[in-house]
Structure 1
Amino acid sequence: MATQSAQKGASDPPPRPEQPGKPARYISKYREFVKHEAVKNKSQWKTMGPAKVAVPSPNDFLQKHSKEPKLAPKKKEEDGKKLLPLSVPQRTYRPVIRIKKNFIIKNAVAVIRGVPKKPRPFCVDTRQGDKYPLEPSGLVPKYIKKKNYGVTPKYVTRRNEEIKREEEEYEASVLEQLKKKAMKTLSEEERTNILKALKKNWEEINHAYQGLPVLTDTRYKKIHKEELELKLKQLEHDIAAIEKHKNIYIADV
């Protein structure tokens, strides 16, 4: 018996764990208020009409010509005399008599006397006769018939004037800069004074050169003689250049 109970206990499945219960459903505290507002704003007769409708009386039936417009009642004559109008027309008054016009004859006369319409120009581009209006096609020379055709636009002339003015201002500024940097010319009086001074220096150096000894046996004598010769040569070159050119320019250093 013990073995049978042990076998039964081994074959039985394990007990299931207890599942927790579901939480209570959420209910808003404004639920009753919303229901009341929804019922309050509804109108019961909005689509179907009232529950009971007043039935018309059988005496109030629709009579004949009751819906036709009625004219105002005529004024009765007072004491057997007719009522006169408020104002009597003058003797020169001529009433306007409207004559019916015959529009058929009028239209016929207008067509006979009218100028015939010109046919619209077309452009045919295929041999099957496919055509399209000529004016919007771009083949009609419209622009050459304008009054201002070939005339330079105002903005172009204005731009050219501005460019020309800028070029003139630039040239004037360049000339002014060149004038500032240009070399100065010697006057005739300054030229003669410089020439006299050079000749005087040449005479003094030549006099010193003539006073040198004939025999130059030392190094100092040779160097002194060469210096005098170079000075004489430079002075002769300067004197010849000044005598040759009348206009002499001096650059600003």
Structure 2
Amino acid sequence: MGPAKVEIPSPDKFLRKHYKEPKLSDKIVPFSEDSLKRMSISTRTDNSWMQTQSKKDFIKSNAIENILTPPRKPRASYAFTKNGDKQLLEPSGLVPKYVNKKDYGQTPEYLQQRKEEERRAQEEYKKYVRECLSQEATKQLSEEERLSTLQGLKKNWEEMNHRYQCLSIIMDTIPKRTRKEKLEVQMKQLERDIDLMETHQTIYIANN
């Protein structure tokens, strides 16, 4: 129990300045001239460096090159402020680049191929429908019959519309309301039939 019994340090062993820094060795290496590699110095009469000089007249060649070089054209720009601040004209979108192309306004090739594929698919589908309907013993409506039927439907619709316009404005009785509703149903059915005949060019009718 109690404090540990440790030897008290001597006051002569205090820490000194730069105590923990590494010390250089006191060993001296002798100097030798052979350890150095000296470069040979050219003498006064040595003219070997003159052999590497070129006989080209750089002043004259530069002058000729600058004379023959075409002048650099300034890049087109536009001022967008009253102080004269400028920007390049080409990336601004004000230059009509795409309008001047050779293929401008023409249908792309991939769209033409897609239209051709759709046309072939439509023809194959029509051919398949004809074969299926021929097997089921159906009759194809000719163009003259289709047009005459369409004219008859339009004529019937005009007659129905005339009757509808002649109805009384005040619907105070049940028979008047019933007649009006019946005419509206018939006119809507005729409109659907007319739209069907105008939309589809090929129409089949069952024989039975």
The normalised TM-score by structure 1 is 0.37
Using CA pairs below 8 Å that are at least 6 residues apart, which structure has the higher relative contact order?
Answer: 2
Which protein is bigger by CA-based radius of gyration?
1
